[in-house]
C-alpha cells in the first residue's frame, strides 16, 4: 500500500464557531485547640445551581479551573457539564503509557493521551452524527499487531464501518489528518510503528499537532471536530512541541524516569496499563518531589524547568473556583503545580480552592493521611524541594480551603492535622464502590457538593 497524500492542505471545518451528605467536620479558626467538633451545614439554596439553566447566559455560570489527569476525573465530567460548562481543564503532557508512548517514541512531541481523553468526554452526544464522530475518535484498535494494522488501513482508507453516519465535511476533515499521521510514520521508515491497541483519537491528534506544529492548534481543531462547548477549555499545562519526561525523586535519593514507571510500571511499551488499586509493586521510598526531564540538546535526560501555558495563568487569575481533582496525586495533579507562576497566582486568590481527596490509596500515596495530600500539594506549589531561588513559603491554607472526602474513604481524615494546616472545612460526599479501583465519588453527589460550596461562598 502506497500513500502519496502529503498533508491536509485543504479540508472542511465545522467551526460553529439525598446525594450529598451535609456533614462537615469543622473547627473554629479562632480556637487555640486542635480538637474538632461536628456540625451540620444546610444551604438555603441547596442544589439551586446543580443543573445549568439553558436560558441563563453562559457567562453567569460559575467558572472553574480543574487540575487533573485523564482518568479519574473523567467519570464526573458529564455531570459537571450539567452544572456549568465554564471549566478550564488543565492537564499534564507527560503521559507515556500505551498508545501515547508509541506515538512519542516514533514521532516525538508531547504526550496527548490525557488531553484526547478529556476532549472526548466533553464532546457532543446530542445527534447521531455527533455520536458517530465520538465513536470513531474514541475507538481503539485490537491488541493483536496484525489485526490492528489491518483495521487501521481500513479506517485510514475510509471504508471502515466506523465512518457510517459521519457526513462528508467531517469525514474529509478527520481522514485528512489520519492520512497525514500515516504519512509521517512512513517517512520514518527506520522506526517500525506498532498499532496495537492504538487510539484513533490519538492518531488524529498527533497528525494535527505535527501538521500545525502547535499543540494548541491541534486541541482547537479536535475541540471543534468533536463539538466541545466553546466555553469549555482543555489546556495543556505546558504548551510545547517538545517531548518532556516526568520524573520523581524519592526520599531515599532514587530518581524514577517516566510517568508510567512512577505510577503503573509495565514490562513492555504496548502492554495495557493496569490502573487497578495496588496493581503495581510499592515504591522503595515515598515520593519527595516530581520534576520535568528532557534529552533535548543532550544525550542523557536532565532536569528542565518549562514555563506554564500562558492560558492557564490567565484562567487562574479569573475563575471562581480552583479544584485539585482526585486521581494520581504525583503524576496527574502535581506536574501542573510545580511550574513557575502557578503557586504565586493561586496563593494570591481569595476564591474557593477545593481538594477532592481520593477514596483509595495507590502506589504513589500508600500510607498517606488526608493531611499528607495537603502537604504534597503545598510542597509542589511552593516548589519546596526544587530550585532554592524559586521557592515559596506559603501555608497550606493559601492553596486549599475546602476538602471533599468520599464516604468510606480508605484514606484517614486526620481532622486535627488538617486544622493545624488551616483547613477547617471537610465535607463528606456519597460514594460508590468500584470493583477495580475501590471507593470513588458518586458523580452526581460530588457535583452537587461543589455547587453547594459555590453557592455558599
d(CA 76, CA 84): 12
Question: Which residues, including other chains, have CB under 8 Å from residue 71's CB and lie 6 or more apart?
Answer: 114, 117, 275, 327, 328, 332
Percent of the chain with pLDDT over 70: 83
- What does DSSP assign to residue 40? E
Q: What is the pLDDT of residues 225-244, one digit of tens each?
A: 999 999 999 999 999 888 88
Residue 49 clears pLDDT 50, i.e. is over it:
no
User: What are the grid coordinates assigned to 92, written together?
Assistant: 499534564
Q: Name the more confident of 313 and 60.
A: 313
Query: For residue 346, what pLDDT is reported?
Result: 98
Least confident of 132-146, 153-167, 265-279, 323-337: 265-279
- What does DSSP assign to residue 55? T
Question: Which residues, including other chains, have CB under 8 Å from residue 198's CB and lie 6 or more apart?
Answer: 99, 102, 140, 141, 148, 152
The neighbouring-strand residues paired with 249 are 255, 289
- What does DSSP assign to residue 140? B
pLDDT (mean) for 339-345: 97
Query: For residue 267, what pLDDT is reported?
Result: 57
pLDDT (mean) for 173-192: 92
Q: Which domains does the chain have, with CATH numbers?
A: 60-92+237-456 (3.40.50.10680), 96-235 (no CATH)
User: Among candidates 228, 190, 224, which has minimal Cα distance to 105?
Assistant: 190
Query: For residue 297, what pLDDT is reported?
Result: 62
Query: For residue 457, what pLDDT is reported?
Result: 80
Least confident of 55-69, 179-193, 237-251: 55-69
Least confident of 265-269, 353-357, 419-423, 434-438: 265-269
For residue 212, what are the CA distances in angstroms to 33, 217, 218, 221, 400? 58, 7, 7, 10, 38
User: Among candidates 362, 399, 405, 393, which has minimal Cα distance to 377?
Assistant: 399
d(CA 215, CA 222): 11
Mean pLDDT of the chain: 85
* Cα-Cα end-to-end distance for the chain: 61
Question: Which residues, including other chains, have CB under 8 Å from residue 269's CB and lie 6 or more apart?
Answer: 101, 102, 105, 194
Amino acid at each position: 500500500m502506497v500513500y502519496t497524500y502529503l498533508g491536509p492542505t485543504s479540508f472542511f471545518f465545522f467551526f460553529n464557531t439525598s446525594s450529598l451528605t451535609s456533614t462537615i467536620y469543622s473547627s473554629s479558626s479562632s480556637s487555640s485547640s486542635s480538637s474538632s467538633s461536628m456540625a451540620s451545614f444546610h444551604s438555603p439554596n441547596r442544589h439551586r445551581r446543580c443543573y445549568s439553566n439553558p436560558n441563563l447566559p453562559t457567562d453567569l455560570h460559575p467558572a472553574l479551573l480543574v487540575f487533573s489527569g485523564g482518568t479519574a476525573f473523567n467519570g464526573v465530567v458529564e455531570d459537571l457539564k450539567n452544572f456549568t460548562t465554564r471549566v478550564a481543564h488543565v492537564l499534564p503532557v507527560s503521559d507515556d503509557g500505551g498508545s501515547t508512548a508509541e506515538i512519542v517514541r516514533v514521532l516525538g512531541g508531547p504526550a496527548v493521551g490525557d488531553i484526547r481523553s478529556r476532549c472526548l468526554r466533553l464532546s457532543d452526544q446530542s445527534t447521531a452524527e455527533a455520536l458517530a464522530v465520538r465513536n470513531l475518535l474514541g475507538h481503539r484498535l485490537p491488541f493483536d499487531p496484525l489485526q490492528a494494522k489491518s483495521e487501521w488501513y481500513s479506517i485510514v482508507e475510509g471504508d471502515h464501518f466506523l465512518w457510517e453516519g459521519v457526513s462528508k465535511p467531517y469525514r474529509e476533515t478527520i481522514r485528512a489528518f489520519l492520512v497525514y499521521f500515516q504519512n509521517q510514520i512512513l517517512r520514518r521508515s527506520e522506526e517500525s510503528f506498532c498499532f496495537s491497541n492504538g487510539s484513533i483519537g490519538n492518531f488524529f491528534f498527533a497528525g494535527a499537532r505535527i501538521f500545525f506544529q502547535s499543540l494548541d492548534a491541534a486541541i482547537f481543531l479536535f475541540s471543534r471536530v468533536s463539538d466541545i462547548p466553546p466555553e469549555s477549555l482543555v489546556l495543556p499545562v505546558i504548551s510545547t512541541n517538545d517531548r518532556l519526561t516526568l520524573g520523581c525523586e524519592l526520599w531515599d535519593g532514587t530518581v524514577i524516569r517516566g510517568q508510567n514507571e512512577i505510577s503503573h510500571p509495565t514490562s513492555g511499551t504496548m502492554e495495557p496499563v493496569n490502573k487497578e488499586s495496588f496493581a503495581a509493586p510499592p515504591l522503595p521510598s515515598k515520593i519527595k518531589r516530581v520534576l520535568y526531564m528532557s534529552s533535548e540538546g543532550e544525550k542523557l535526560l536532565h532536569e528542565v524547568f518549562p514555563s506554564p501555558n500562558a492560558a492557564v495563568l490567565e484562567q487562574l487569575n479569573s475563575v471562581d473556583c480552583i479544584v485539585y481533582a482526585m486521581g494520581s496525586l504525583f503524576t496527574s495533579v502535581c506536574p501542573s503545580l510545580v511550574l513557575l507562576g502557578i503557586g504565586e497566582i493561586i496563593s494570591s486568590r481569595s476564591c474557593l480552592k477545593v481538594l477532592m481527596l481520593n477514596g483509595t490509596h495507590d502506589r504513589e500515596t500508600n500510607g498517606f493521611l488526608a493531611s499528607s495530600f495537603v502537604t504534597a500539594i503545598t510542597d509542589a506549589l511552593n516548589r519546596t524541594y526544587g530550585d532554592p531561588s524559586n521557592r515559596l513559603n506559603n501555608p497550606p491554607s493559601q492553596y486549599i480551603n475546602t476538602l471533599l472526602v468520599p464516604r468510606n474513604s480508605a484514606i484517614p481524615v486526620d481532622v486535627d492535622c488538617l486544622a493545624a494546616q488551616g483547613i477547617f472545612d471537610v465535607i463528606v460526599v456519597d460514594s460508590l464502590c468500584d470493583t477495580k479501583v475501590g471507593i470513588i465519588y458518586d458523580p452526581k453527589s460530588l457535583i452537587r457538593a461543589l455547587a453547594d460550596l459555590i453557592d455558599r461562598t
